[in-house]
Amino acid sequence: MSPRHVVLLIADQFQHQRLGTADPLARTPHLDRLASEGVNYTGMFCSNPQCTPSRVSMQTGLYPHEAGVLAIYGFRGHTGHLSPDRLTVGKVFRDAGWTTAYFGKSHLGHPLDALGYQHVQEHGVSSPLSAVDRTVTADAVRFVAEHDPEQPLFLTVSWHEPHPAFEHVAPFDEHFPPEEMPIPATYDDDLIGKPPYQAERRAMPHGGVGLDRLRDELSSYYSMISHIDSLVGDVRGALEARGMWDDAVVLFTSDHGDMMGAHGFRLKGVLPYDELYRIPFVLKVPGLPVERSVVDDLCVNVAQPGTLLAAAGLPVPAEMSGGSVLDRAMRPAPPADECVFLEHYAAYWGLHPFRVARTRNWKYVRHFGETPWEELYDLAADPGELRNVVGRGDLAGTRAELRRRVDEWWESTDGRDLAYYESDDFRNWGRATLVSDNALWNDAATSQ
């Protein structure tokens, strides 16, 4: 069966490990069903654990620093956002003859009609988020009901949950009593040997989290995830009613994760841990000759736009240098020498620029700027990233090799130094055209 429609479903701040396929406590029957029909990429990471930079990668196939969007606009005075001059996945589908429609959160800093989307209904932050997301879904369902099934459709439905403000969403919350929520094994991390800013951030009012608050937020988080899962079911039902599901490429993913008590932290930003970077990526492609339905290869969401295009039978433009991971499911095993690269620049907890090289067994973090800290984690022996072993003499070779690899990647992708990114020219490059997502995000940037 040749795919006709492409459906992109995006959650916000959804950890990979909270899928029902990974967590027996989670209740995500619709996403579990999608995984059974397609491919579950369990080693997918976001390029940057902040909303706007990651979403730029999801549109362009570029790392945030390649697109000039290192932080959520507004942080530290940066006004960089997704420029309409960039090639986006929406533009490619539109130009190839697909109808393009986008419902929900964008947070890209520019009206979506200039980014390739012909039918747009954005929704901003209001409380409760569950009500906003039901409206997003209703808009998308209404559009599908009126769409001609013979016309190829690229549909994006982008929800706000389980992003803060956390809420207990009925009736799902009855399954997640706060007193029964499991505390992460790394909660009591002493942070000894790690960059000092981590302890400083955990001491901030919104950085660390006590056990009572954590249990309550975990309960809310699980219920919000179950609510999103139910909305996935609503979108599926609308597509099935129009005969558009079976021949549709469908991807469910998120822009980043959340600490959720890991290492004693809450929320996101300025930290290199997998809880923030590892994201769900569940893909259904009709007719794909699959060797593995669970792909644990290390991947980065710079490959997301190219993967959708390849799944629809379209060529991946050279400008989308992130490529595609579609072929990973058609291979019997991961590549022999896996290494992916991640980045971070700044968040509401401050300026902490770093770049990451991650292999299956090692994570190396190279901070750049005023204090060039380094971190090295032996993921085979220490999957929780509790002990920074960068100073061990017997690991000097591993440290040097990963440092070489991440520096070569940074330079080959036109990565610069802190002075460049903090210069007025760079910080202000988008000021003339920046809009606040049609005034939806103007007052909400500091909550991201």
Contacts (Cβ under 8 Å, ≥6 apart) of 286 = 1, 2, 3, 246, 247, 248, 249
Rounded to the nearest integer, the mean pLDDT of the chain is 93
pLDDT given at position 3:
72
Beta strands 350-358 and 362-367, pairing class: antiparallel
Structure tokens at 2: 């040749």
Where does 5-338 sit in CATH, by number? 3.40.720.10
The percent of residues in the chain predicted with pLDDT above 70, rounded, is: 96
CATH 3.30.1120.10 in the chain, residue ranges: 340-442
Contacts (Cβ under 8 Å, ≥6 apart) of 363 = 272, 274, 356, 357, 375, 376, 377, 379, 385
Contact 358, 351 (CB under 8 A): no
pLDDT given at position 447:
36
The percent of residues in the chain predicted with pLDDT above 90, rounded, is: 86
Mean pLDDT of 215-228: 98
Contacts (Cβ under 8 Å, ≥6 apart) of 398 = 362, 364, 376
Ordered alpha helix ranges (H), 362-427? 396-412, 418-421, 424-427
pLDDT at 441 over 70: no
Whole-number Å distance between alpha carbons of 258 and 274: 9
Whole-number Å distance between alpha carbons of 325 and 310: 9
pLDDT at 186 over 50: yes
Beta bridge partner(s), residue 374 = 366
pLDDT given at position 110:
87
pLDDT given at position 126:
78
Angstrom distances, CA of residue 397 to CA of 191, 356, 392, 402:
24, 17, 10, 9
CATH T-level fold of 340-442: Arylsulfatase, C-terminal domain (3.30.1120)
pLDDT tens digits for 232-257? 999 999 999 999 999 999 999 999 99
pLDDT given at position 322:
96
In the structure, what pLDDT confidence band is assigned to residue 349 with cuts at 50, 70 and 90? Answer: confident
Determine phi and psi for 44, rounding to 5 degrees: -85, 135
In the structure, what pLDDT confidence band is assigned to residue 4 with cuts at 50, 70 and 90? Answer: confident
Q: What is residue 298's three-state secondary structure?
A: coil
pLDDT given at position 49:
96
Closest by CA to 260, choosing from 337, 171, 195, 185, is 185
pLDDT given at position 443:
42
CATH 3.40.720.10 in the chain, residue ranges: 5-338
pLDDT tens digits for 274-288? 999 999 999 999 999
pLDDT given at position 436:
55
Please, what is the Cα angle at 84 between 307 and 315, to 5 degrees? 25
Q: How long a stretch of residues is the chain?
A: 448
pLDDT given at position 430:
86
pLDDT tens digits for 147-165? 999 999 999 999 999 999 9
In the structure, what pLDDT confidence band is assigned to residue 206 with cuts at 50, 70 and 90? Answer: confident
pLDDT at 429 over 70: yes
Bigger pLDDT: 370 vs 119 = 119
Closest by CA to 429, choosing from 86, 87, 82, 55, is 82
In the structure, what pLDDT confidence band is assigned to residue 444 with cuts at 50, 70 and 90? Answer: very low
Angstrom distances, CA of residue 292 to CA of 6, 56, 253, 304:
21, 29, 19, 18
User: For the whole prediction, is pTM greater than 0.85?
Assistant: yes
Mean pLDDT of 9-19: 97
Mean pLDDT of 123-137: 89
Structure tokens at 49: 């654990």
pLDDT tens digits for 60-73? 999 999 999 999 88
Bigger pLDDT: 432 vs 395 = 395
